[in-house]
Amino acid sequence: MPEKGSILVIDDEPEICESLAQLLRMEGYRADTAPDAESGLKKFGQNPFDLVLLDVSLPEREQGVEVLRSIKRDNPETPVIMITAYDSSETAFTVSKEGADNYITKPWDNEKLLLDVRNALSNCRLRAENLQWRRLQSRYDLPNVIGKSERMKKVFDLIMQIAPSRATVLIQGESGTGKELIAKTIHLRSSRAQKPMVPVNTGSMPIDLLESTLFGHVKGAFTSAIASKKGLFELADQSSIFFDEIGTIGIDTQAKLLRVIQEREFMRLGGTETVRVDVRILAATNSDLGKMVEEGKFREDLYYRLNVIAIDLPPLRDRKEDIPLLARHFFTKYGEENQKSGLAFSPEVMKLLMNYGWPGNIRELENLVERSVVLASGSTIGLDLLPDSLREGNGLSAASRNQFSAQLNGDSLSGMLQDYERRIIVKTLERAGGRQTEAAEQLKVPLSTLNQKIKRLHIRLHRRGDG
Ligand SMILES: Nc1ncnc2c1ncn2[C@@H]1O[C@H](COP(=O)(O)OP(=O)(O)OP(=O)(O)O)[C@@H](O)[C@H]1O
Ligand SMILES: [Mg+2]
């Protein structure tokens, strides 16, 4: 019989120890016994037990409680069931105050005792799992995906269905519609969640660098390859790899990628050995891959391999009912960050936002809320706090536009700070020849932060050789 758990019985009466141990062993537990407090604590210290059955009087009245205290102090998670000779409410009170999980009275009923043991163990496992889940959640920052529109509900249903499989997923949508967030969600809802998803930003990389980044290289593969190096595919083994902007991958790399998707194997640059990996592929694009196939810019076979499951994220203007919900979500998020709670848009602003076209989709809304929280002095965000770009073309008269022109982006503190930040990033990127990794190093920020800032500040990237 497989072992169900290990239990230590501490009781000064040898017959009780033995009969309990026997009963537990017959049920498939591993059981050990100790006749007094000292040897009991010693055994417990040497060997972690999943549960302890402990006599209250060992033989002195308080000794059992002392043992209980000592166990709970160092191992609060380990369930302890007390055994007492008298069913008194005073005993029950004392032992529960000291952290006992339950208590039984002599003579006990075998079935009841086994049930209590089973319950205590399963509660304990549940607690441990919860703890693990919470840790996982905080570690990976389980994303909050908001939306109640029919179109988003369909997306959520699809995600639930396909997340556990290994199927390749192609996520399509305009800029800022949440493609990366959805990719993360799929990964975190799969059995691969224990390992982090590996993102590849193909857009910002020259082709030779991209290939060695993906597949790794052996020593001497090219002049600067002084040691062999693992690629992202190997790092993503047992996990998921996320290709952002898959449409920007060159035609040569596409062929290699196709092979990995088909065979789950590849060779390192300059290598002769085949490397096998278990990787799930998630990809995103905001260009029309189907059209790129027609134009001969994207391999048709790769397109079909990627497009096993397609998730189309609708632009925000097509799911306006999500705007108030998303706004509230971002107000909470940035309110916490800036220690300002209870903020909201005025009804006037809300009306304007519902009629706005949102070219930058959810990211644009998120940025607007963040900006509003930073600038807000009262609890309601009125029209005067909105950037001009939002009011333009939204039916506001020229007169009212003038009235607000003093609040132009560049005049506000946060606007000036943004301009300054933008200038520094552009300069650093220029100096680094457009290499974001290098620029991030120089600015002493993580690459992901730099990427976010580039997007948020709408910095256009000029790759080397682009002229
Ligand atoms: N449904 C949603 N609920 C809450 N936040 C969202 C949602 N969709 C997107 N966001 C937030 O909007 C921002 C932009 O999302 P994300 O980076 O995933 O978009 P994207 O489609 O990858 O954009 P791009 O094409 O520019 O790379 C992120 O901060 C993300 O957390
Ligand atoms: Mg993205």
Query: Residue 295 pLDDT > 60, yes or no?
Result: yes
> What is the 449 CA–ligand 1 centroid distance (Å)?
14
- pLDDT given for residue 412 in this prediction: 56
Most confident of 102-111, 169-178, 210-219: 169-178
> What is the 176 CA–ligand 2 centroid distance (Å)?
7
Select from 142, 177, 182 the residue to mutate for testing ligand 1; criterion: most ligand atoms less than 8 Å from CB.
177
Cα–Cα dist 96/164, whole Å: 42
Which residue ranges form the domains of the chain, and what is each CATH number? 6-138 (3.40.50.2300), 150-314 (3.40.50.300), 317-407 (1.10.8.60)
pLDDT in tens, 273-292: 999 999 999 999 999 999 99
> What is the 361 CA–ligand 1 centroid distance (Å)?
8
Q: What is the CA radius of gyration of the chain?
A: 31
Contacts of 118 (CB under 8 A, 6+ apart): none
- pLDDT given for residue 404 in this prediction: 35
Please report which ligand is nearest the Cα atom of 363: 1
- pLDDT given for residue 170 in this prediction: 97
Please report which ligand is nearest the Cα atom of 364: 1
Instruction: Read off the pLDDT band of 134 (50, 70, 90).
Output: low
Cα–Cα dist 106/11, whole Å: 12
Instruction: Tell me which residue has tokens 């073309």.
Output: 393
Give the Cβ contact number of residue 3 at 10 Å.
9
SS3 299: coil
Mean pLDDT of 180-204: 89
> What is the 362 CA–ligand 1 centroid distance (Å)?
6
Mean pLDDT of 375-387: 90
> What is the 320 CA–ligand 2 centroid distance (Å)?
21
- pLDDT given for residue 76 in this prediction: 84
Residues near ligand 1 with C-beta < 6 Å?
144-147, 173, 175-181, 286, 326, 329, 362-363, 366, 455
Phi, psi torsion values for 228, nearest 5 degrees: -75, 155
Cα–Cα dist 250/208, whole Å: 10
SS3 422: helix
Specify the pTM: 0.59
DSSP string, 45-80: HHS--SEEEEES-SSSTTHHHHHHHHHHHH-TTS-E
77-104 in b/e form (b: 16+ CB < 10 A) is: ebbbbbbbeeeeeebbebbeebebbbbb
| For the CA of 329, the nearest atom of ligand 1 | 4
Cα–Cα dist 85/60, whole Å: 12
Give the Cβ contact number of residue 398 at 10 Å.
7
- pLDDT given for residue 104 in this prediction: 87
